[in-house]
Structure 1
């Protein structure tokens, strides 16, 4: 079965992996005992690859850039929620650092894509 074009994007593959890790974290005992926080992590994490996929399916570069901007905001939102978990000692040692590093790299990738879509050479 052929793949849809968004699955060929490295940024989508990495955001999908990040989302899977965030969902596992949201379902883990310490975080799941705080339903509002678990829900926020879940919603922010899901928004990232879903907006990348939806944007890739749009017809114009500007539309795609707009959805990437939403995904970028969701990366920030996810990082803020994970930082709250870190400050409340709800994450295993090193987990926040690893997730934050991936979020930082993905944010740079998404921004580079936005810039290239809005300012083609």
Structure 2
């Protein structure tokens, strides 16, 4: 079993959650139940699945939750593109967050690959 609070992938994902909440505060009001809600729920899903996976009895089961987390990371990246295309965020912020989500995706994939399947 892993202590999720000590995992770099969990900590980086939690930082992304804060970034997501920060940028969506400035989205138009009509996006409250649309893109704002979707982006934040998706961002929260990334570290949530990592932490839930650490409670599982085998690395095989943990890997499945890492897969869910990775899926949420790709979903959030798409939503980030939508936010940029709708001019809700600057190009500079877009590039910064795009780099961050790519890094998280790589970290999750690498961590999953490194698990021993016992």
What is the TM-score normalised by the length of structure 1? Answer: 0.88
C-alpha distance 18-87 of structure 1, shift in aligned 2 (>3 A): same
RMSD: 1.7
The corresponding residue for 1:17 is: 15
Does the alignment pair 1:65 with 2:63?
yes
The corresponding residue for 1:56 is: 54
Q: Distance in 2 between matches of 1:18 and 1:101?
A: 11
Q: Distance in 1 between matches of 2:68 and 2:14?
A: 15
List per-residue Cα deviations over 1:3-50 (Å, max 9, x = no partner): x8100001100000011110122222x244412111110111010010
What is the TM-score normalised by the length of structure 2? Answer: 0.90
Superposed displacement of residue 79, structure 1: 0.6
On the 8 A contact 2:20/2:39 being kept in 1, the answer is yes
On the 8 A contact 1:25/1:31 being kept in 2, the answer is no
List per-residue Cα deviations over 1:57-87 (Å, max 9, x = no partner): 2111011100000000000000100100101
On the 8 A contact 2:60/2:117 being kept in 1, the answer is no
For structure 2, the 5+ residue unaligned runs are none
Aligned residues: 116
For structure 1, the 5+ residue unaligned runs are none
The corresponding residue for 2:41 is: 43
C-alpha distance 56-37 of structure 1, shift in aligned 2 (>3 A): same
On the 8 A contact 1:45/1:75 being kept in 2, the answer is yes
C-alpha distance 77-47 of structure 1, shift in aligned 2 (>3 A): same
Does the alignment pair 1:97 with 2:95?
yes
Q: Distance in 2 between matches of 1:77 and 1:96?
A: 15
